Amino acid sequence: MTDWNAERYHEISAPQQAWGRRVLERLTLEGGERVLDVGCGTGHLTALLAARLPRGFLVGTDRSGAMLDTARTWLLEHAPATRLVRADAAGLPFQRAFDVIFSAATFHWITDHGALFRSLVTALRPGGRLVAQCGGGPNLARLLARTRRLMAERRFASYFDGWTDPWYFADVETTRRLLESVGFAAIDVSLEEAPVSFDSARAFADFIATVCVRHHLDRLPSSERGPFVFELTREGADDDPPLTLDYWRLNIDARRPAS
């Protein structure tokens, strides 16, 4: 599987940045905390987080080398004290190290949420907080239903033998139960609709190719990638409102007990 086109993602990820800023609004900080940004991506939100930690310590992790390369360049200018570590969120190399874990638009790329939450609670100090958001519930159901229909068409079907979805869009109750099972307390989980509309077919196509269906395009020869994205864009143009992705966000707040 090819890595992210991180430079392009850095340019077009305005929706993820907007959602992330709202998650940051939920996070009260005194300025001296030790904070872990899980799935820091290209560093946009990491830099905003760093600005709120004048006396603190911030580490960003991502499992994508391409994302970290772009983040390193961005943060060198915007938050040079930030440390970056390549790590899978479901297997973090930290124990009782952080007061806060922040994450935005990442957890849905991890299919084992039990392992994810065990890793997170282990990385937190007693009394530490988890403040996060990811795709959940019926996230992108309309787009992905169209994608599945395309995958089944004769011209594309052979390229998707053995396909498994690389994402997991959890529901509220399952998430709450898993958080409890690994030892989190003061749990608050909710789901909200967050549709994203685009001004042009080109912008819509560019976004879904870079973010939503990039794993599908990895399976296709270059000659078939354009037609695959074109068909999804053509159908999206007929929606009401047009060129709108049906995003849903799962909000997660929890705390590791103090003892």
Give the model confidence (pLDDT) of 117-165 as tens digits.
Answer: 999 999 999 999 999 999 999 999 999 999 999 999 999 999 999 999 9
Q: What is the pLDDT of residues 224-253, one digit of tens each?
A: 999 999 999 999 999 999 999 999 999 999
- pLDDT for 2: 81
Please state, for a pLDDT cut of 90, what percent of the chain lies above it: 99
Structural domains of the chain, with CATH: 6-140+165-199+248-255 (3.40.50.150)
8 A C-beta contact, residue 68 and residue 126: no
- pLDDT for 174: 98
In order of 48, 125, 246, the CA distances from 60 in angstroms are 12, 17, 29
Query: pLDDT-derived band of residue 102, with 50, 70 and 90 as boundaries?
Result: very high
Whether the per-residue pLDDT at 254 is higher than 80: the answer is yes
- pLDDT for 250: 98
Tell the residue number behind the tokens 């007929």, with chain if given: 238
Whether the per-residue pLDDT at 259 is higher than 90: the answer is no
Alpha helices in 79-238 (DSSP H): 113-123, 141-152, 154-157, 172-181, 201-207, 214-219, 222-237
Tell the residue number behind the tokens 């997170």, with chain if given: 120
Q: What is the pLDDT of residues 170-225, one digit of tens each?
A: 999 999 999 999 999 999 999 999 999 999 999 999 999 999 999 999 999 999 99
Whether the per-residue pLDDT at 56 is higher than 90: the answer is yes
- pLDDT for 1: 64
H or E stretch covering 65: helix 65-78
In order of 90, 153, 213, the CA distances from 71 in angstroms are 21, 38, 22
